[in-house]
Structure 1
């Protein structure tokens, strides 16, 4: 089976989500990559060095500069004539492109897989991760999105895949790029950080969130996350949100401050290696998944913890 993997990249660099998708794709058979964008020669070279990659298809064209799904999907469909499966990381881009590819191919998409059980059999979470479904596709072509936290990252070095240029496919007119407002931070990216400090509704205000959470995150070299309640209350932007309707993370250490632990939040972080919970309610559900729990006033505990680091 030949599998085509969508390569996530930004600023001329590969994103970690690609490496996890390669690991998943390797379980299906031969791995080919698709690098699409403008001026992506360096990305293609880096992609060719990923361990286990046989070929890198490069579509270097202004039409793909912003990875608009209406432009990328026809390109993928054209390449699927020589591939059996299309695999994309379950990122914003991947989840935008894959359904359009599935629709054009008239096949079922298998979303957010956690494991590969056979050529066409996979596991995926349902009910906010409270149950795991085993699904099998009977379609001739597979379209799959991969939960990056469920698979080890493939080695970024050691491969020697052949690089092959592909021409632009006829793209749809469904959308056009108007502009982007990209937040910049010196902290690690939330989905790839080894340590995350998240705050919840109990922080009570945006000022408290920044004054309590961020100093601790800075001391730990951590990314900053938040529960949906904190985002809905306007304490932080929605790109901080961890959970079922936010980002799925699995860091080495996850510090949950003032987060009760609703199942929607747990769905986004329960695979973290070590979970530290700080909450004044000793019966909060977060303590059921925490490896270390501190019961007390976060406005006392967190500043004291920060001062001792």
Structure 2
């Protein structure tokens, strides 16, 4: 995707490095999380080191000097820390540019219908974050909170998407963000409020089935964004394939087969790989909101 040198959105809130909250919450692009376990024998030693480190600090002794033989930076200048910082800065520029492109597209679509488009805020976080929808950990994946009209993402998610799930490329990353912005569009046109009202009276299976339709419409809205991005001449060779591959890799059936070896259709809440690819493509091919009616058409 040709994104460098283009406008970056100002609606970006960088909370990386701040402490979030307890690790729970709902996500829009959930992937199976990886657990980290500590053996019984290691807990006491770790606790001892932490306490010892605190005591040394109070005594005016830098524990890093005792551990590493020096009191300078833990990462040498020009080393991996600098590379990581530069990459993170570039990723921030990238998602800020993609967000700006979604703003241009959805402002134009809403204006053509005589409506206004309240632009969402993108929150960058690391580890965990608090939102109006509660607290969430990075394991939740990117998500949209209608309570504060913000999209939340830990940029490390993109590494997992590429390395663990085989969905690499900048347009795969753009698709993820455009999908979450699609949920914002659903919120302002009334789809999400109606879904949240109806789900209170649904069984778990019925709520999952309705959730699939909500998620597939967000995929279709992401496709609409891709349609107009292509019209601007910003797509490069292979970009569409990157987005479709990402949709394939995060389909409920594909994820369940990869993580547990079998599928449970009643538990699907985002859609199968084929469905996600199909609805993204419908939005991309048409560029029209009317093509994204997942509630009155077979999915």
Larger Rg: 2
Smaller-chain TM-score range?
under 0.3
Q: Which has the higher strand share?
A: 1
Query: Larger RCO: Structure 1 or Structure 2 (Cα < 8 Å, ≥ 6 residues apart)?
Result: 2
Give the TM-score normalised by the residue count of structure 1. 0.22
More helix by share: 2
What is the TM-score with the length of structure 2 in the denominator? 0.22
